[in-house]
């Protein structure tokens, strides 16, 4: 009787899940699993590279920053984006100009990777759902992430799941060596710079006045307390008020995930948007990051990748200091060089920002750090390193997989997998 009851509950849960997916009523962050599996039963994917992105539309910003480099990679090696969420796939087809499929079942994914001869699988985050693709032995798995920062997530133990990590520069390797155990960062990390930002310079937007501009770009509240760097609740309102009173223009760039975990941050975001708009300043939700960079004379941000990406501008930078005692960063040299804004000092933020814009004593030091964090920032250099690294690893995969195939079925030591080959 109990077994029958359990079976009935499983059927109800299964039916409920199908209905929720069909009518798109799933909670935010949960992929709908409406896949193209039946159509892909005997199909193969063109090209050598898969980008695996099982997330929902909320996290699509992580992949958007890679559109440009991935389009270039598609021209040389062929790229298909594989999703687990049909809504995300629809958005990607509209935005990216890349081939996109939705796969719900692990068995479909396993078979199509092997059948297609996929050589590389790329990932832009550490989503636990990535394990569906990581099971494949026939491809090399590469973590790209979506920025280089001193957040503790940059040194997550999850990095060990991937055969290689493409990192921005030597700073990322040193950070992993310092904060991660049993991980050979020098062997497993390949510096490629930030190809997502490797474009020709964006011109400054014409303006009707010459007020200096401060870009305020806080991060979101984070998935757990240890990464609680967001300054919206502790710094934002008095800081923006001080900036405006000092006669500075403000560009507020909200993080796309603000408020998804803690509603209070969403409320603070809404209040700050109203404050900025009432002062005649700009809330940037539809502009590119390079455009916001081009229009700003100083960046004020939390511990995040935005700080490192700002370095090539050569302009001054302030990073907030979290008040959360549970928050821990993976600090590198930048956090010890640039000014830090504590919550108790927000009333003077405007004066500090103006002084740094007019007299920037740390400019040369930041310029020295740019190569350490990002490598060669000459236009085109980072993109070329990314393309070269993908081509090199595709050739390495062919060597390794040929050896594995030759060893299949032979008694003796277990076959060498790409991860074990380093």
Give per-residue pLDDT as tens, 168-182. Answer: 999 999 999 999 999
User: How far apart are the C-alpha atoms of 108 and 115, rounded to whole Å?
Assistant: 10
User: How far apart are the C-alpha atoms of 266 and 35, rounded to whole Å?
Assistant: 32
Q: Over the stretch 37-46, which tens digit does the pLDDT of each residue have?
A: 999 999 999 9
User: How far apart are the C-alpha atoms of 298 and 295, rounded to whole Å?
Assistant: 9
Res. 200 pLDDT band, cuts 50 70 90:
low
pLDDT score of 225 = 85
Q: What is the percentage of the chain residues whose pLDDT exceeds 70?
A: 89
Res. 224 pLDDT band, cuts 50 70 90:
confident
For residue 405, pLDDT beyond 80: yes
User: How far apart are the C-alpha atoms of 74 and 68, rounded to whole Å?
Assistant: 10
For residue 163, pLDDT beyond 90: yes
Rg, Å, the chain Cα set: 23
> What are the phi and psi torsion angles at 317 (to 5°)?
-145, 140
Res. 415 pLDDT band, cuts 50 70 90:
very low
Structure tokens at 180: 């991660």
pLDDT score of 127 = 95
pLDDT score of 126 = 96
Q: Over the stretch 108-142, which tens digit does the pLDDT of each residue have?
A: 999 999 999 999 999 999 999 999 999 999 999 99
Dihedral angle sign, alpha carbons of residues 125, 127, 132, 135: positive
In this structure, of 6-20, 209-223, 313-327, 368-382, the range with the lowest mean pLDDT score is 6-20
Alpha helical stretches, state H, 347-380: 349-358, 363-374
Within 13 Å, how many C-alpha atoms sit on residue 32's CB side? 20
User: How far apart are the C-alpha atoms of 27 and 18, rounded to whole Å?
Assistant: 13
Strand order, beta sheet including 100-102: 100-102, 79-83, 49-53, 120-123, 140-143, 164-167, 189-191
For residue 99, pLDDT beyond 70: yes
- Residue 279: closest CA among 254, 251, 300: 251
Angle, vertex CA 237, rays to CA 232 and CA 241, nearest 5: 145
**Which residue reads 């049993």 in tokens?**
182
User: How far apart are the C-alpha atoms of 401 and 114, rounded to whole Å?
Assistant: 11
In order of start, what are the domains of the chain with their CATH numbers? 27-197 (3.40.50.11720), 213-374 (3.40.50.2000)
Rounded average pLDDT over 140-152 = 96
CB-CB contact of 353 with 214 (8 Å): yes
Rounded average pLDDT over 73-100 = 97
Res. 369 pLDDT band, cuts 50 70 90:
very high
Alpha helical stretches, state H, 254-303: 263-278, 289-295
For residue 332, pLDDT beyond 90: yes
Res. 2 pLDDT band, cuts 50 70 90:
very low
In this structure, of 82-91, 158-167, 199-208, 404-413, the range with the lowest mean pLDDT score is 404-413
Res. 422 pLDDT band, cuts 50 70 90:
very low
Mean pLDDT for the chain overall: 91
CB-CB contact of 30 with 21 (8 Å): no
Cβ-based neighbours of 410, under 8 Å, separated by 6 or more: none
Within its chain, how far is the Cα of 92 from the centroid?
A: 16
CB-CB contact of 373 with 308 (8 Å): yes
pLDDT score of 409 = 64
For residue 243, pLDDT beyond 80: yes
Q: How many CB atoms lie under 10 A from the CB of residue 4?
A: 8
Helix axes 349-358, 237-245, angle to 10 degrees: 50
Res. 199 pLDDT band, cuts 50 70 90:
low
**Which residue reads 């393309």 in tokens?**
387
**239 CB burial (10 A radius; 0-12, 13-18, 19+):** buried
pLDDT score of 275 = 98
For residue 31, pLDDT beyond 90: yes
For residue 24, pLDDT beyond 50: no
Structure tokens at 64: 């958007």
CB-CB contact of 145 with 155 (8 Å): no
In this structure, of 26-35, 189-198, 282-291, the range with the lowest mean pLDDT score is 26-35
């Amino acid at each position: 009787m109990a077994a029958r009851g359990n079976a009935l509950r499983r059927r109800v849960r299964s039916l409920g899940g199908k209905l929720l997916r069909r009518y798109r009523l799933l909670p935010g962050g949960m992929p709908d699993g409406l896949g193209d599996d039946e159509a892909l039963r005997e199909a193969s994917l063109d090209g050598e590279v898969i980008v695996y992105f099982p997330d929902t539309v909320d996290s699509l910003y992580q992949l958007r920053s890679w559109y440009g480099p991935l389009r270039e990679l598609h021209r040389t090696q062929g790229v298909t984006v594989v999703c687990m969420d049909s809504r995300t796939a629809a958005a990607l087809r509209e935005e990216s100009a890349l081939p996109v499929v939705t796969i719900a079942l692990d068995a479909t994914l396993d078979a199509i990777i092997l059948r297609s001869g996929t050589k590389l699988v790329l990932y832009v985050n550490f989503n636990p759902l990535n394990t569906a693709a990581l099971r494949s032995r026939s491809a090399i798995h590469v973590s790209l992430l979506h920025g280089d920062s001193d957040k503790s997530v940059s040194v997550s133990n999850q990095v060990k799941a991937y055969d290689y990590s493409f990192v921005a520069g030597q700073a990322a390797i040193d950070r992993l060596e310092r904060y991660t155990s049993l991980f050979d960062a020098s062997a497993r990390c390949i510096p490629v710079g930030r190809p997502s930002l490797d474009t020709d310079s964006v011109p400054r937007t014409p303006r009707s006045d010459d007020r200096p501009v401060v870009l305020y770009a806080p991060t979101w509240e984070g998935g757990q307390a240890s990464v609680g760097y967001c300054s919206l609740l502790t710094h934002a309102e008095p800081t923006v008020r001080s900036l405006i009173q000092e006669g500075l223009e403000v560009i507020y760039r909200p993080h796309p995930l603000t408020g998804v975990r803690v509603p209070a941050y969403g409320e603070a975001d809404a209040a700050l948007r109203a404050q900025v708009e009432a002062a005649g300043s700009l809330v940037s939700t539809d502009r590119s990051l390079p455009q916001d960079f081009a229009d700003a004379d100083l960046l004020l941000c939390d511990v995040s990748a935005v700080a490192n990406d700002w370095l090539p501008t050569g302009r001054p930078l302030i990073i907030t200091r979290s008040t959360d005692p549970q928050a821990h960063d993976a600090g590198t040299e930048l956090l010890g060089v640039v000014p830090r804004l504590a919550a108790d000092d927000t009333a003077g933020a405007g004066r500090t920002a103006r002084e740094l814009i007019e007299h920037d004593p740390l400019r040369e030091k930041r310029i020295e750090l740019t190569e350490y964090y990002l490598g060669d920032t000459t236009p085109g250099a980072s993109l070329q390193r990314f393309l070269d690294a993908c081509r090199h690893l595709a050739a390495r995969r062919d060597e390794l997989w040929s050896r594995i195939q030759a060893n299949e079925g032979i008694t003796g030591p277990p076959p060498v997998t790409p991860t074990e080959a380093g």
